[in-house]
Chains A and B, each alone.
Chain A
Amino acid sequence: MKTKSIDRIFLVLKYLVLCSFTALCLYPILWLVINSFKTNQELFADPWGLSPNFSVRNYIDAFVEGNIGTYFFNSAFIAVCVLAVGVTLSSMASYAISRMKWKLSKVTLNVFLLGMMVPTYAIVIPLFSTFNFLQILNTHLAVIIAQVAGCFPMAIFILTGFFSIIPKDIEEAAIMDGCGMLRMFFRIIMPISKSSIVTVAVITFLATWNDLLLPQIFLSDQPKMTLPVGLMACQGQYTTNFVGMIAAVLVTIIPTVIIYIFLHKNIMEGMVAGAVKG
């Protein structure tokens, strides 16, 4: 009886903790939503309540003047390219490293893993100068190449872990059936490793989508900018239009939130897998 009431108190405490952090997570976003329909004056007068004159003016501003739509498209384009190239190449390399028989596989893996310790900052100046030489500064290609190269260590780290636990029988059976290497990889190995590949895809996508530094350095034309860089530009440009910025921030956040609502299981598994499996 006594333990039960203590348990109950603990339960209430637990919910109290959880609920307050939930509020902390969600309220700022809700606050943005509320204020995105106000005018600057209304925001200064009362940042709490809803505005009596509901207006989507700020959203129109964000798209028309703030070019949020263009930034969004650029971000998506770069992220998809990085995703396609990065995930394909890293899963191929991981497979060769963890399953194929060659002397340097361990060394190669370690060389790849070394990259996990390299902060982007240690390579931006050389990349800047290299891309400058290759004349691809201020193109999406520059960002894509840099992001792809940067995604390999983590991706290979996760994927080699997954591939190494695939039972040998599967490969043996496939080879007995006369399956070629490419066919086996794309038709058998890739499908059975779907979860780990989605994991890698999600990490790669988010890292690319959210990155500020690389696109900030490589892309300088407004029509080519990604969302984070574009938002920075907006901040400099429309310093007094707070409500407009709020709308722009929301436009940036909302798609991520929607994707997250549908894919949160995969995203969470993905972002965590690397750490736990390691």
Chain B
Amino acid sequence: MKRILAMVLSALLLASSLAGCGGASSTSGSGTQASSTPVNLTMMFDATATDPTLSVLNEVVKDFNASNKFNAKLTLQTYENEQYKTKLTTLMASNSVPDIFFTWELDYLKPFVDSGKVYEIGKLLDQDTEWKSSFQSGVFDPVTYNNKIYAVPHAKSICVMFYNKKIFKDNNLTIPTTYTDFLKLCQTLKNKGITPIALAAPDAWVPAQFVQQITDGIGGMKIYNGLLDGTVKWNNSAHIEAGTEVQSMVKKGFFQDGFLGMKSANSTQLFMDGKTAMYFMGCWDIASITDKSLSSIVNNVGAFTVPAKDSKNNNILVGSIDLSLAISANSKNPEAAAAFIKLFGSEKYQEEFLYKTGHLPTTKINIDKSKVSSVTADVLSISEKAEGLTPWLDRAFGAGEGVEFNNKCQAIFGGKDPTEEFNALQKFAETNSSK
């Protein structure tokens, strides 16, 4: 008796869980009932409580909730980075992603798009040509899958070398224009007892983006493009050369003491406290660096591009898009959600993001250079001069080769042989595809 019961029960459970595994089909409702009854929207965003981006975001939410033609109320949920990724994954699997969610581009969003979890916002963009045409060309490329747009990016981000103007001035240093100059500059600083560069190795993507930048300077766009279409191997000579370069910088002590174990936020703090001359990071850190409560060098920061080892690649940068928002496929009110996203990307807030947090706009707005901080101005001009952007490899290649690339770069910073590490990465890449 009990056995039969047990068997029936287990069979039921198995069937039910398999069905859950198969994924119930997403239901995207119509948003017609919108304007009369109040619509509740939820949005989840990747930010910590102290994130300056959040203050602007809160303004947008307040503005949206005060009046919009859908009579919609948007609730904002924020999560810290790691938490955010876990949360989004969980919600994706259980088909309960909030109406609007922050996302990264390229390989991060891809599995969700492939599984039909993301609303094709391109449809709404096409209907609203004024909205779509406000964006600069090419910014939708990293969020386009099968020629369909699935998210709207609201910032461009590039990696730059921030520098402390005061330290440079006090020591009669100028921005380096060649790679040799750059190394010389670091050596000079080092000789004077000033730590040249702040960098934190424990978050593997931080050392990785530096290696990627040096690689860009050696091999140019063809390395990135080749990796994408499979014509260039991960253990290509540019990667290995970049690894060797970085390692010699480590040996010369160009990075702060203890950088191998120092948390990312702490190395940022070192630079903001004026204790290192330079700091290599994505331009999103402008927000913190120019925040008076966090930084003591607010008015003394500039930015430049790390000069390429092969000077013809001088303006090729690690960079991509940022602040991308997407709508969930099971949102009952995609139009209302889109209205919020449109407001988020409106001229007013693109300006606020630029002037207050230093996010480079993705729309075609007229920039009032007098309103931007000097470092933002530097970054803007770097961005304008950029001849090519190579997106972060962990975004382009995702959790497989992308993350492994980060790990290998971290290991190289830690003293492992670049050739061996990149050979291992190539081997990993060859076998990873079959997993």
Give the interface SS of chain B, mostly helix, strand, loop or mixed.
helix
Of the candidate stretches B79-87, B107-115, B116-124, B189-197, the one touching chain A is B79-87
Selected from B21, B263, B266, the residue in CB contact (under 8 A) with A129 is B21
Do residues B266 and A130 form an inter-chain contact, with CB atoms below 8 A?
Answer: no
CB neighbours (8 Å) of A132 from chain B are 20, 93-94
Given known pairs A65-B49, A132-B94, A138-B90, the reply for A222 and B79 (CB within 8 Å) is: yes
**Residues of B with C-beta under 8 A to A126:** 17
Which parts of B272-290 form the interface with A (CB within 8 Å)? none
How long is the Cα–Cα vector from A229 to B411 in the complex, in angstroms? Answer: 29
Measured between beta carbons, the chain A residues less than 8 angstroms from B49 are 65, 237
A132 to B94, CA, bound (A): 5
Whether the Cβ atoms of B265 and A239 lie closer than 8 Å is: yes
Point out the residues of chain B lying under 8 angstroms from A216, CB to CB: 86
Q: CB within 8 A of A130: which of B17, B48, B77, B86? A: B17
If A128-B93, A132-B94 touch, does A236 touch B87 (CB 8 Å cutoff)?
no
Residues of A contacting B13 in the complex (Cβ-Cβ under 8 angstroms): 130
* A135 contacts chain B at the CB level, 8 A cutoff: yes
1/0 per residue A134-162: CB within 8 Å of B? 11011000000000000000000000000
Name A229's closest neighbour in chain B (CB-CB).
Answer: B83
* Bound Cα distance from A217 to B269, whole angstroms: 32
User: Provided the pairs A126-B17, A133-B19 are in contact, do residues A240 and B82 lie with their beta carbons within 8 angstroms?
Assistant: no
Inter-chain residue pair count (beta carbon < 8 A): 56
Q: Is the CB of B17 within 8 A of A239?
A: no
**B91 at interface (Cβ–Cβ under 8 A)?**
yes
Known: A220-B87, A233-B80. A240 touches B263 (CB 8 A): yes
Is B81 in contact with A240, judged by CB distance below 8 angstroms?
A: no
* In the complex, B16 has a CB within 8 A of chain A: yes
Does B264 lie at the interface of the complex (its beta carbon under 8 Å from any beta carbon of A)? yes
B: number of interface residues (CB 8 Å): 27
Q: Within 8 Å CB of A217, what residues of B?
A: 90
Q: How far apart are B293's CB and chain A's nearest CB, in angstroms?
A: 13
Interface set, chain A 192-207, CB cutoff 8 A to B: none
Complex CA distance for A240 and B272, rounded to whole angstroms: 13
Is the CB–CB distance between B80 and A237 below 8 Å? Answer: yes
A221 to B5, CA, bound (A): 36
**B82 CB contacts on chain A under 8 angstroms:** 236
Cβ A239 vs Cβ B20 within 8 A: no
A residues in contact with B79, CB < 8 Å: 222
Q: Is the CB of B81 within 8 A of A239?
A: no
Complex Cα spacing A62 to B291, Å:
23
Q: In whole angstroms, what is the CA distance A130 to B265 when docked?
A: 38
Contact of B16 among A104, A133, A138 (CB under 8 A): A133
Is B263's CB under 8 angstroms from A220's CB? no
A236:B263 contact, CB within 8 angstroms: no
**With A65-B49, A222-B79, A237-B48 given, is the CB distance from A133 to B20 under 8 Å?**
yes
- CB interface residues, A 172-220, toward B, < 8 Å: 216-217, 220
Point out the residues of chain B lying under 8 angstroms from A239, CB to CB. Answer: 263-266
A3 to chain B: closest CB distance in Å?
52
Contacts of B269 in A (CB 8 A): 240
Instruction: Determine whether the beta carbon of A240 is less than 8 Å from that of B17.
Output: no
| Interchain CB contact under 8 A, B19 and A220 | no
Establish whether residues A236 and B90, one from each chain, have CB atoms under 8 Å apart when the complex forms.
no
Cβ–Cβ contact A220 & B86, under 8 A: yes
> A137 — which chain B residues lie within 8 A by C-beta?
90, 94
Query: For A222, what are the chain B residues with a Cβ–Cβ distance below 8 Å?
Result: 79, 83
Cβ distance B359 to chain A, nearest Cβ, rounded Å:
21
Whole-angstrom distance between the Cβ of A275 and the nearest chain B Cβ: 30
0/1 interface trace, chain A 40-71, chain B, CB 8 Å (1 if under): 00000000000000000000000001000000
Q: How far is the CA of A22 from the CA of B49 in the complex (A)?
A: 39
A132 to B81, CA, bound (A): 23
In the complex, what's the smallest C-beta–C-beta distance from A136 to chain B, in angstroms?
Answer: 10
Q: For the complex, what is the distance from the CA of A239 to the CA of B79, rounded to whole Å?
A: 14
Residues of A within 8 A of B87 (CB): 220-221
Against A, the Cβ 8 Å flags (1 = close, 0 = not) of B337-370 are 0000000000000000000000000000000000
Of B80, B83, B86, B266, the contact of A240 (CB 8 Å cutoff): B266
CB-CB < 8 A to B77: which residues of A?
221
**Complex Cα distance A135/B93, Å?**
11
Whether the pair B265, A240 counts as a contact (CB closer than 8 A) is yes
Chain B residue nearest in CB terms to A225: B83
Write out the residue numbers on chain B whose beta carbons fall within 8 Å of the beta carbon of A104: 2
Quick one: CB contact mask for B138-171 with A, threshold 8 Å, 1 for yes? 0000000000000000000000000000000000
A130, A216, A221, A239: most-surrounded residue (chain B CB, <10 A):
A239
> In whole angstroms, what is the CA distance A133 to B16 when docked?
7
A236 and B21 alpha carbons, distance in the complex (Å): 30
A221 to B98, CA, bound (A): 13
In the complex, are the beta carbons of A133 and B83 less than 8 A apart? no
- Complex interface bits, A97-135 against B, C-beta within 8 A gives 1, otherwise 0: 000000010000000000000000000001011101111
How far is it, in angstroms, between the C-alpha of A217 and the C-alpha of B86 when the chains are bound? 8
Task: Tell me the complex Cα distance, A241–B85, Å.
Answer: 23
CA distance A138 to B77 in the complex (A): 15
Chain A nearest Cβ from B79, distance in angstroms: 7
Q: Note all chain A residues with C-beta closer than 8 A to B266.
A: 239-240
What is the CB-to-nearest-CB distance from B257 to chain A, in angstroms, rounded to a whole number?
Answer: 13
- Most B-side CB within 10 Å, residue of A133, A134, A217, A222: A133
Q: Which A residues are in CB contact (< 8 Å) with B81?
A: 236
Q: How far is the CA of A129 from the CA of B15 in the complex (A)?
A: 12
Give min CB distance, A228 to chain B, whole Å: 13
Q: What B residues does A134 contact at CB under 8 A?
A: 16
Q: How far is the CA of A84 from the CA of B86 in the complex (A)?
A: 30
Q: What distance in Å separates the Cβ of A240 from its nearest Cβ neighbour in chain B?
A: 5
Task: Give the distance in Å from the alpha carbon of A239 to the alpha carbon of B81 in the complex.
Answer: 12
Cα distance A221–B49 in the bound complex, in angstroms: 15
Min distance, Cβ A47 to any Cβ of chain B, angstroms: 15
Residue of A with least CB distance to B87: A220
* Residues of A close to B91: CB separation below 8 A: 220
- Nearest Cβ distance between residue B234 and chain A, in whole angstroms? 29
Between A126, A128, A132, A240, the greatest number of chain B beta carbons within 10 A of the residue's beta carbon is seen for A132
> What are 18 A-to-B residue pairs whose CB atoms are below 8 Å?
A65-B49, A104-B2, A126-B17, A129-B93, A130-B17, A133-B16, A135-B94, A138-B90, A217-B90, A220-B86, A220-B87, A222-B83, A237-B49, A239-B263, A239-B265, A240-B263, A240-B266, A240-B269
> Which 10 A-B pairs have CB atoms at the shortest separation, nearest pair first?
A133-B20, A239-B265, A220-B87, A236-B80, A237-B80, A132-B94, A130-B17, A240-B265, A237-B48, A239-B263
